[in-house]
Amino acid sequence: MSFVRHQIKKRVASALRLLTDWALFITIVLIGGLGSSWYMVEAGNRLTTVTVGPWVMWKTAGRMDADPYTRAHFTSLGALPISTGIADTYLARTDSEGNRLHSSCDYTLTGSPPANFWWSVSVFDVGGGLIPNAADRHSFTSDTAALMPDGKFVASLARSASAGNWLPTGGAGRLAVVFTAIDYGAAGTSEDRDPTALLPTITRGSCR
């Protein structure tokens, strides 16, 4: 009798082991396969993106030779990017210290973009929508921004109006800032350009 019980126990244990092995296998495959793909499409890595402080640019955005991650990223984003052959488009979702941009805080963008670039800075909500505001301000370009006497560009992202280049952010929640630079001096690919010289820093001010 005890021999039969022992046999049954052994078979049940073996079946359980097989079942948990397969459950573990399927879980690992789903999390590993789908999770790694999602991460590479959403965030990218060094092979697909250039990261300078809070700014991220997809290296082959809008190009025929774009890698599958870049293609999937922009299709899921629903945006029509300008080719990186002529323009660098950087997106920031955090400030220069790595904190998420949020409309409850004020931010200052400071940079000194070189003269041989047309550039623009635009602020969006986290989904890429423009933020409605009474002033109807959403972006500044190298043509419309007021520069400091030393050639620097300073803009403020804030809920309440401030002097200078003010971009209203009230009520948007999490924010995304896009910096686009089009090189009209010596049009080259994004690999030829030094992004650190282009990009403004994003400094957090007071939060409410």
Partner 1 sequence: MKTFLAYLLPPNWRLVLAAFFAVVALHICATFAAPHLTLATPYDRLIASLPANAMRVLPPVTPSAQPLPFMAPDARIAVCRFDTSKGSVALTAGLPSPGWTLSLYNLNGENFYTAVGEPGRRVNISLVLIPEQERFQGLTPEARGERSVPQSQLRVPASRGLAVLRATDAGLAFRARTEAELKRTACGVAPS
| Residue numbers at the binding site for partner 1 (CB under 8 A) | 17, 21, 25, 28-30, 32-34, 36-38, 40-41, 62-64, 66, 68-69, 71-72, 74-83, 85-87, 91, 118, 120, 122, 124, 127-132, 136, 138-144, 176, 178, 180, 182, 184, 187
How crowded is residue 120: how many other Cβ atoms within 10 Å of its Cβ?
17
Give me the least distance between CB of 45 and partner 1, in Å please.
13
CA atoms within 13 A on the CB side of 170: 12
**Torsion from C-alpha of 73, 79, 80, 86, nearest 10 degrees:** -70
Measured CA to CA in angstroms, residue 56 lies from 14, 20, 89, 116 at distances of 50, 41, 8, 22
CB closer to partner 1, 46 vs 207: 46
CB closer to partner 1, 157 vs 176: 176
CB closer to partner 1, 7 vs 37: 37
Give me the least distance between CB of 142 and partner 1, in Å please.
8
CB closer to partner 1, 4 vs 64: 64
Measured CA to CA in angstroms, residue 138 lies from 130, 141, 151 at distances of 7, 10, 22
Give me the least distance between CB of 1 and partner 1, in Å please.
28
Give me the least distance between CB of 17 and partner 1, in Å please.
8
Please, what's the b/e burial string for 62-89 (b: 16 or more CB within 10 A of its CB; e: otherwise)?
bbeebbebbbbbbeebeeebeebbebbb
CB closer to partner 1, 54 vs 62: 62
Give me the least distance between CB of 118 and partner 1, in Å please.
3
